[in-house]
Amino acid sequence: MEYIDIDRVKKRMDKRLFINKMVKGIFFASAMFGLVVLAILLYRVIADSIGWISMDFLTGLLSTSAERAGIRGAIIGTLWLMAIVGPVTMILGVGTAIYLEEYAKKGKIHSIIQTNIANLAGVPSIVFGILGLTIFVRLFGLGASVIAGGLTMSLLVLPIVVVAAQEAIRSVPSHLREASYGMGATKWQTIKNVILPASIAGILTGVILALSRAIGETAPLVVIGIPALLIPVPTNVTDNFTALPMQIYYWTLDAVLVAEYANLAAATIVVLLIVLFILNSAAILIRNKFSKRY
Amino acid sequence: MTPATPKPETITRKQSIIQPEPDTGKPLVFNTKGLNLYYGKTHALKDIHLPIAENEVTAIIGPSGCGKSTYLKALNRMVEMVESVKITGEVLYRDSNIFDRSFKVEELRTRVGMVFQKPNPFPKTIFDNVAYGPRIHGIRDKKTLKQIVEKSLRGAAIWDEVKDRLDENAYSLSGGQQQRICIARCLAIEPDVILMDEPTSALDPKSTMKVEELVQDLKEKYSIVIVTHNMQQAARISDKTAFFLNGEVVEYDATDTIFSNPSDKRTEDYISGRFG
């Protein structure tokens, strides 16, 4: 007795192949959708910004007159922000990851911290803004300063760094740990001499991805009251500052008043995208360059 | 790991075959007295009594899962890296119990080095690999480090092969060379005992022979405990052999006796290849 009737198989073959083709088409369209939207967005932004990006625009100070406005303040403000977010997330994030992976016993507390970090990654950025406003701006009285903005932003991206660093640390083969412990090394010596050198690529990648998230975030900055219209350039961490996304936000809002502000916003978006592109490329380069096989 | 609550009711076996003290008159580096080890609820080592004598090679043989690697890793407390592990009983190293709270595990592992199954050099230069141990124990002086590295590499019979390429990554070496680098790295902490966990199972026959010869040389200065799957290897290189089965020591004796005239039927069956 045969179960497979070759005639029926033949009859249904065309239908099966047609369904297969159709499904492939649907999936291709889904994949293209995002790409097309992004392309349109990029086209619009770049088209609007043509003629507006110049050395004067990059190095000039902010002005209400569109022709004279520059984003030097916002660029330097963003750099200041990164100067806080980078080290703070590196130290706190990598510290947390090391504790969880190497020191903490895998028990209840471990899983509570782990779950919390995962949840924290899903908290909307505006909530972090409110947190920053309550703690750093008001309670610590830091005002809308670089340090307040930087710390708020650090909290926001911390989970990214923790998770990336944990994964990097976990991927260090255990036989390397054993070799180190087997010679009488302490945990810290093993971490410092074996685990961190072997996982630094993954950790740096995580930090850079976190930075590129922080560089584009606007909501927390709006909530903690970072001004968009600020002429002086910050010179230290307690100065007020503005950042690229704030500048974009402000110019987009006011484009109804002054039509040229739309072009300024587009030009700033292009600058921001270029910075993001550079950061992401650096992350990929680091990952490729340092990735080792054991 | 703190010693777990004793479970005396589980210890019912008679120690009929094992003589706790060896008759060679050599001093003991390790003496295991009533060691029980649990992975969670699995009773992995059952009331082990085993002496390890100075300047001898003690081979531990037995089928997979018999607890021989677990026992070896208990001797330098590497087994505690498994979190669910519970240990009762004593392992005396030079007369002090290694599971005592006051016995620092880092100190133990400085005296008791380990060579692992798979060659596991660090992704560092050959020099830095061998200098790793001395460095973590606080030696910073370049000249001293150089001397230690040379001495250790000579000790591991690999100096001539690598002396011109100490700055190369250890991963550029062959598997057999990597394993001898790992042995050199172990020698560099000037241990008293060397534990070897199937050190040749990942190596080709020629490299295996080199490591075996090396073990013979090393026992002049060190006491060696070697876990091996390979019974011929145990017969070739060891002075004493312990046969483990299901977490127990079935038989422990001079290697010649074990292989020519075993007193337990199960030992005889195993060494004649009837199981395992």
Supply the ipTM of this predicted assembly.
0.85
- Nearest to residue B124, comparing CAs of A176, A102, A9, A183? A176
- CB spacing of B132 vs A294 below 8 angstroms: no
Name the token pair of A167.
Answer: 């994964």
Task: Give the best-scoring range by mean pLDDT among A108-122, B13-27, B155-169.
Answer: B155-169
Between A174 and A56, the higher pLDDT residue:
A174
Residue A292 pLDDT > 60: no
Instruction: Give the DSSP per-residue string, B5-43.
Output: PP-GGG------S--SS-SS-PPEEEEEEEEEEEETTEE
Helix (H) or strand (E) holding A268: helix A260-290
SS3 B63: coil
Mean predicted lDDT score pLDDT of chain A: 89
What was the pLDDT predicted at B76? Answer: 93
Q: What gap in Å lies between CA B39 and CA B271, rounded to an integer? A: 28
CB atoms within 10 A of CB B87: 22
Residues of A with CB below 8 A from B116's CB? 175, 178-179, 182
- Dihedral Cα B231, B232, B234, B238, nearest 10 deg: 160
Residues of A with CB below 8 A from B136's CB? 180, 183-186, 189, 193
Residues in chain B: 276
pLDDT mean over B10-27: 51
With bands split at pLDDT 50, 70 and 90, how would you rate the model's confidence at A107? confident
With bands split at pLDDT 50, 70 and 90, how would you rate the model's confidence at B24? low
Which range (A13-22, A68-77, A127-136, B187-196) has the least confidence?
A68-77
pLDDT tens by residue, A273-282 = 998 888 888 8
CB atoms within 10 A of CB A142: 21
The count of CB pairs under 8 A between chains A and B is: 66
Token pair 């987009």 in the structure block, residue: A252
Q: What gap in Å lies between CA A61 and CA A50, rounded to an integer? A: 20
Residue B14 pLDDT > 70: no
Token pair 């060659």 in the structure block, residue: B119
Which of B83, B136, B171 has its CB closest to that of A183? B136
pLDDT tens by residue, B80-102 = 988 889 999 999 999 899 999 89
Of all residues in chain B, the percent with pLDDT exceeding 90 is 80
What was the pLDDT predicted at B7? Answer: 46
Residues of A with CB below 8 A from B83's CB? 105-106
CB atoms within 10 A of CB A36: 11
Q: Strands, DSSP E only, in A41-96?
A: none
With bands split at pLDDT 50, 70 and 90, how would you rate the model's confidence at B112? very high
Q: What gap in Å lies between CA B109 and CA B87, rounded to an integer? A: 18
Residues of B with CB below 8 A from A181's CB? 78, 81, 109
- CB spacing of B78 vs A194 below 8 angstroms: no
pLDDT tens by residue, A156-201 = 999 999 999 999 999 999 999 999 999 999 999 999 999 999 998 8
SS3 A265: helix
What was the pLDDT predicted at B83? Answer: 84
- CB spacing of A183 vs B132 below 8 angstroms: yes
- CB spacing of B133 vs A178 below 8 angstroms: no
At position A6, the amino acid (one-letter code) is I
Residue B13 pLDDT > 60: no
**Is B14 in contact with B249 (CB distance < 8 Å)?**
no
- Nearest to residue B113, comparing CAs of B2, B16, B37, B221? B221
